[in-house]
Amino acid sequence: MRVAPFQAVLPDLRLVTSTDHFFSTVKEDYSKYASVGFFHKAARESLYVYRIVQDGRAHWGYVGTVHISEYLEGRIKKHELTLADKEQQQLRLLLERGAQVKPVLLAWQGESRLAGFAREWGAAHEPVLDLELAGEGSRHTLWAIADGTVLSQLRQWFAEEVAVTYIADGHHRTSVVALLYEQYAGQPAQARFEWLLAALFPADQLTIRDYNRVVDTRNEISFTRLMAALSQYCDIRLMEAPHKPRQPHQLTLFINNEWYELSWKPQYIVPMGPGLPVLDVDLFNRYVLGEILGIADVRSDRRLSYVEGTKGLEGLKNKVLKNEHRVGFCLYPLQMEDFIRVSDAGQTLPPKSTWFEPRMKNGLIAMEIGIECVRER
């Protein structure tokens, strides 16, 4: 993997009186914050060791830049389709801010000297940023590596020991940088999009959570008819106490203020392609969204929305109850080995199939790209 140091832009935490407010608004308001001094640029180009502590577990990785050719030539592997409206939003934000303000999360498989080195460097050096987000129960720490000899060694390890990486979070940000890089080919602006800001973590440092669905039926099918149609594909049981799916090929349904457990009937548990795993998100899209509800394009259909699994059953329930025509489905989370198999096969999952942890924050570490020559086009 072609990794390089960069001149980072970091928040001045002395000016941040409310971390919750600052990091929840910086995605849209980065330019305003930057213009009045909330950010400062590091003096030297560096790679960064990055540790995130969440739920009692420390996750160790790196932050640097990865050449966009790694994505265009298939060594940064994607596993999800992107949403057209999300791509448009990310493109607007990137050009407005003139900066990449959140690293794309990339995972690599296999043994590497990089994992042990990150811990050793963190133990022996003072951090340049150490931030606790009490509201989320997470702590984020960055250590800079600017020494030329050490940087050369790390870049060599990435080149030799990390042949491919997998996008865990940031499909839309990656695709937008690649789109602009190709669109400005042969022009001065292309250099602005040559490098992708990325956090690189070993796969065993990441966890995949569930990503759930809310569907607006819009009077197109009554709840009674929906339940009857679902019974053709699933065994249905009313739950006394609601819970998320406890094993693959189960769904949890919230409809008409009741919770149900759905289990796919055996004849429908088939892979979507040769050599691929049987994925619940594929079964859900084919049978529930496609055949029952007539939703053909999950990338753009406005009847479909998503709820992160970290928001729990209450998060799903609250979103459903905002509209009397909505129903909610909890899906069993994708397994890491299936995530790797799908990516290696060159296949893609539907949008919002995975929710990886730990999560990063907008504005914690950024990279300016400049947009003057883009505006001159």
Quote the CA–CA distance of 149 and 320 in Å, as a whole number: 55
In a domain, 277, yes or no: yes
Distances (CA, A) of 291 to 113, 164, 239, 296, 330: 49, 37, 25, 9, 19
Q: How does pLDDT run across 191-222, given as a tens digit for each residue? A: 999 999 999 999 999 989 999 999 999 877 99
H or E element that contains 71: helix 69-72
Instruction: Report CA Rg, the chain.
Output: 22
Residues 145 and 31 in one domain: yes
Residue 345 confidence (pLDDT) = 85
In the predicted model, is pLDDT for residue 81 greater than 80?
no
State the CATH number of the domain containing residue 261: 3.30.1760
Residues 188 and 111 in one domain: yes
Residues 108 and 11 in one domain: yes
Residues 11 and 85 in one domain: yes
Instruction: Tally the residues of the chain.
Output: 377
Residues 199 and 230 in one domain: no
In a domain, 112, yes or no: yes
Burial of 45 (0-12, 13-18, 19+ CB in 10 A): middle
Residue, of 55 and 264, whose pLDDT is higher = 264
- Alpha carbon 96 to its chain centroid, in Å, reads 22
In a domain, 113, yes or no: yes
Residues 166 and 238 in one domain: no
In a domain, 34, yes or no: yes
Report the C-alpha dihedral over residues 103, 107, 111, 113, rounded to 10 degrees. 0
Residue 371 confidence (pLDDT) = 60
Residues 82 and 178 in one domain: yes
In a domain, 339, yes or no: no
What letter would DSSP give residue 190?
Answer: G
In the predicted model, is pLDDT for residue 145 greater than 70?
yes
Residues 258 and 183 in one domain: no
The most distant pair of C-alpha atoms in the chain lies apart, rounded to whole Å, by 68
- Give the whole-number percent of the chain exceeding pLDDT 90: 76
Going by their DSSP bridges, the two strands 165-169 and 104-108 should be labelled as antiparallel
In the predicted model, is pLDDT for residue 190 greater than 60?
yes
H or E element that contains 319: helix 312-320
Mean pLDDT of 63-88: 90
Task: For residue 48, list its beta bridge partners.
Answer: 63, 144
In the predicted model, is pLDDT for residue 42 greater than 60?
yes
Contacts of 233 by beta carbon, 8 Å cutoff, 6+ apart: 264, 265, 268, 287, 288, 292
In a domain, 149, yes or no: yes
Residue 372 confidence (pLDDT) = 52
Domain count, the chain: 2
Domain that holds residue 79: 3-206+358-375
Residues 39 and 183 in one domain: yes
Q: To 10 degrees, what angle do helices 113-124 and 148-161 make?
A: 150
Residue 291 confidence (pLDDT) = 94
Task: For residue 165, list its beta bridge partners.
Answer: 76
Mean pLDDT of 363-367: 97
In the predicted model, is pLDDT for residue 25 greater than 50?
yes
Residues 264 and 349 in one domain: yes
- Give the whole-number percent of the chain exceeding pLDDT 70: 98
The tokens describing 312, both together, are: 């729990």
In a domain, 340, yes or no: no
Residues 247 and 167 in one domain: no
Token pair 């429908």: residue: 268
In a domain, 117, yes or no: yes
Residues 13 and 108 in one domain: yes
What single string gives the DSSP state of each residue in 120-171?
HHHHHS--SEEEEETTTTEEEEEEEE--HHHHHHHHHHHHHH---EEEEE-H
